[in-house]
Amino acid sequence: MSVQEYPRMQAYARIASQADFIDGVTPDGLVLAKLGLICTVYFRNGGQRETGYKVLGCFDRFVEQFGEHLQGQFHDFSGRGFTSLRKDSIAKAKEKLSGSVDEGLAVFWVLQSEKNGEVAAEYSISALTSNAESDPYGAMSCVKIMLPWQLLADVEGEQKFREWARYFCETLDVDHGYAGLACNLPYDRHQFQPYEFQIAQRYSGLMVDSSALIDGDNLSDHIKGVSWLTLLGPRYVEQLGGMDLLKQQLQLPDVSVQETNNGRLIVQAGVLPDVGAPENGDPPAYVAVNRVLKPIRVPNPEQLHTCMDDAEGFTK
C-alpha cells in the first residue's frame, strides 16, 4: 500500500466498522434499513420538455451502469404500486413517461433492486419533477440515486459515484444537492422513519434523506445541508461572494472544490464520506465546510419525516 492510499483505506475502514450497527435487519434477515450512498439533486424547469427528457436520460444512464441489479419499478401511470421488471418493462415505461414529458406533466418514476417497497434497496434511481404550469413559480424537481457504500472500496467505484454528481450538475443545471452516506429506508418508509431518526442521532455524518423527493418544496431558496459532496448552483455561489472568494474560503484541510463547465461547484469534504461515529466526533471536514456554507442553509427546516403520528422522528 502506498503512502497516498493509506488515508483512503483508513476512511473506508471507518465506514465498514460501523455498517453493521447502522443496518436494520429483522431476525428473519429482512433488511429494513441499510447504510448506502446517495446523490440527491434539486433543479428547476422540470416540467419543460427539454429538462424532462434529460431526466429520462438519467434513468438511461443508471440502467446502463446498474441495470443487472434492478428488479422493480413504480411509476405514476400504473396505479398498481411496484411491479416486477420483465422484458421491455423499462422501455415501455419510458415510452409512456415520454408522453407525460411532451404534455408538460409531472414525471414520477422509481427503478430499484427490490421488487416491492417493503425492503431497503441497494440500487435505486427515483425522480419527481414539477409540471409545466408550476414551473413559472419556481417549483423544484428532484432526482435521487442510491448505491451500495461498498462501491467506495476501490478508486474506480469511488470515481463512478463522484461522476454521477458531476453528471447531474452538468445535465440538469442543478440548483443544489448533496452526495454521501445515508441510512436508506424502503420505499414504504413511513413506519421505519423512527429508526432513521435514532440512527441519525448517533451518526452525525449521515444525511436524513428518506423524503428527498418531497423536500424540494422547502428548499426553493436554501440548501438542505452539507455532506461529503455538496453541490452548489450559480446563485448560491454568488450569495457567498462569488466563485473566487468562495474557493478561497474553502481552502481548508481535507477539503477540495471542483468547478463544472456550467458554473456549478462541487465541494468535497474528506477523502471519503464519514459516518460521524460518536467515538470519532463530528467529521472535521464537514464541520469546516458547514461554517462556510451556513449563510445559505435553510434556517428553519420543515418536517423531515412524514406521517409520524405519535412516533419519534424529525418533526419541525
- What are the domain boundaries of the chain? 1-38+145-316, 45-139
Give the pLDDT confidence of 153-179 residue by residue, as tens digits.
999 999 999 999 999 999 998 999 999
The residue-averaged pLDDT of 52-80 equals 89
Give the pLDDT confidence of 85-144 residue by residue, as tens digits.
988 899 999 999 999 999 999 899 999 999 987 888 999 999 999 888 877 767 889 999
pTM across the whole model: 0.92
Give the residue, 306 or 206, on which the prediction is more confident.
206
Query: What's the start-to-end Cα distance of the chain, in Å?
Result: 47
C-alpha cell at position 164 = 454521477
Find, among 212, 207, 53, 224, the residue nearest to 141 by Cα: 212
27 DSSP assignment: T
In the numeric block, the cell 411491479 is attached to 83
Instruction: Look at the alpha carbons of 278, 189, 71, 145 in this order and tell me if their dihedral is positive or negative.
Output: negative
Confidence check: pLDDT of 32 > 50 = yes
Confidence check: pLDDT of 197 > 90 = no
Please give the helix or strand (H or E) that residue 5 lies within, else none: helix 5-22
C-alpha cell at position 2 = 502506498
Query: Phi, psi (5° rounding) for residue 223?
Result: -85, 160
| Cross-strand bridge partners of residue 258 | 266
